Amino acid sequence: MLVREATFTVDVGENGYLIGFDDDYDWPKEMPFGWRCGLATDSNAIVMPTTDTGPVQMIIQVHDGPPAPERGNDWEPPEEISLRADYPELCLAVIRSEFWDAWPEDEPPLEVPPSNEGEQWVRMRLYSHADDPEPGIGDHGERHLVQLWRAPQAPSLHPEITDADRQARAEYAAQMNMPVEEYTTTYPLTYTPDNQPD
């Protein structure tokens, strides 16, 4: 049964958004290329929308058990992951060059009720739709339905990924493992008669 629903619009960042039960945000070790969502940590998921910087209509629902499959609205096949929810209040942040809190100020906090069995995990099911499915900048008529309910930890459900997705994941992982020093560039400093060191 539906316990709570929140509907609002978020202007996402170039790298999508993070959703989960911990506001200690960091860049994920792996981007879920080929999927809509993937684990960033045990408590957070990263979601990759179609639009790079445009609006996404968010519908976030809390249920007291697994909801029935959604029909209509041209939803893509859903994906599911388990998130640890030691802290029951849902957190939402868009990813630009930094992380920006995206939960609307006029929307009360959304909490997942405690489990009678003391369950620490929440199941998240994501449905998505975009009128224009080609990735890019701007308004793609995109909407996401996020459904949450208490459930034991279980394997994630995702579509198969392609070789191109695997390559993109490998390249991202290589970037994340690159030492910071390799991003540093040294420029020679040339002095002229009018520009002398102090």
| Helix-, strand-, coil-residue percentages of the chain, each rounded to 5 | 10, 35, 55
**Are 158 and 79 in contact, with CB atoms under 8 Å apart?**
yes
Residues in the chain, overall count: 198
What pTM does this model have? 0.87
pLDDT in tens, the chain (198 residues): 999 999 999 999 888 999 999 998 988 989 999 999 999 999 999 999 999 989 999 999 999 999 999 988 799 999 999 999 988 899 999 998 889 999 999 999 999 988 877 779 999 999 999 999 888 888 999 999 999 999 999 999 999 999 999 999 999 999 988 876 655 666 666 677 777 766
Alpha helices in 114-182 (DSSP H): 163-177
Q: Which of 59, 65, 169 is nearest to 116 (CA)?
A: 65
Tell me if residue 175 falls in helix, strand or coil. Answer: helix
| Cα 118 to Cα 116: distance, rounded to the nearest angstrom | 6
Q: Which of 117, 113, 70 is nearest to 89 (CA)?
A: 113
| Cα 113 to Cα 105: distance, rounded to the nearest angstrom | 21
